[in-house]
Amino acid sequence: MTRMVEAAGGRTLAVETSGDPHGLPVFLLHGTPGSRSGPAPRSSVLSRMRVRLISFDRPGYGDSTRLPGRAVAAAAADVATIADALGLGRFAVLGRSGGGPHALACAALLPERVTRLAVLVSLAPRNAEGLDWYGTMTPSNEAAYRQAELGQPQIAGAFQARSNVIRRDPAQLLRDLVPELPLTDRSVVSDQGIRRMLVSTYRQAFRYGAAGWIDDVLAFISDWGFEVESIRRPVRLWHGADDQFSPVEHSRWLADHIPGAELYLEPGAAHFGAFKEMARAIRWAADG
């Protein structure tokens, strides 16, 4: 089920729910780039888990109105707005990849509403003390973030041009990624079901351009608007040990700085291994 929710400033947020409509609510915050139609367990699987999964296009992606200059922290207000519109008091949150920092914002800024937080292959803050932020990051990601540090005018044209190509052929983004993928990730994205979900999320993400992608990247390398050390909810971090898109040291840093956080490093897995972990993470989050 998809609905449009009115947010602050006259914006709208495109929201999708699946699974058990009366189940335990879990927000799923999609990756970068991504959309509400991103990879997730089938609705029948969610229903068996008694979970109501709620996903939405972040501002600038898909059918959600752009919020120029948004910080990572802005996600918390949008999640609260959606929860209010759905009549939800408390809920769990799951963030994958680029959704990880936004999920952390929810736990930090909505402590009375978030019950548990699961975070898969997340980035750490750009100003994380003692972390070599670029470290083992793939060359393409490092180049994009370093260019973003020069400001929006430096990346807007390139990101828009690339999004135009992907909008015409969403599978192109996957083809671009494959040369940098370790064998374990190549195996994951070779699965036809996974490829269909990825193509679907890219098609939705870029239907009106690259604004969401640009704003995500700029938000990650700017002040997030909260401190992860302030999080006091149960947090489960998962990272594939061979990940280079979001280097594993980022989750190690988060585990060291979020009180009580549990970190699970999976040998032989990398960035897209998070898809296989998602059902387990949702089940853990809903058990809170």
pLDDT, tens digit, 9 for 90 and up, residues 163-201: 999 989 988 988 988 899 999 999 999 999 999 999 999
| pLDDT for 288 beyond 80 | no
Sign of CA dihedral 129, 264, 232, 272: positive
Tens digits of residue pLDDT in 252-265 = 999 999 999 999 99
Among 198, 224, 202, which residue's Cα sits nearest to residue 213? 202
Amino acid at site 199: V
| pLDDT for 74 beyond 80 | yes
Q: What is the pairing mode between strands 262-266 and 114-120? A: unpaired
| Confidence band, pLDDT 50/70/90 cuts, at residue 152 | confident
Model's pTM, two decimal places? 0.97
Position 154 scores a pLDDT of 86
Query: Was domain 2-286 assigned CATH 3.90.1200.10?
Result: no
Residue 235: CB partners within 8 Å, gap ≥ 6?
107, 116, 117, 118, 119, 258, 260, 261, 262
| pLDDT for 6 beyond 90 | yes
| Lowest-pLDDT range of 92-101, 103-112, 148-157 | 148-157
Listed by start position, the domains of the chain span 2-286
The per-residue pLDDT of the chain, averaged, comes to: 96
| pLDDT for 89 beyond 90 | yes
Position 151 scores a pLDDT of 87
Position 1 scores a pLDDT of 80
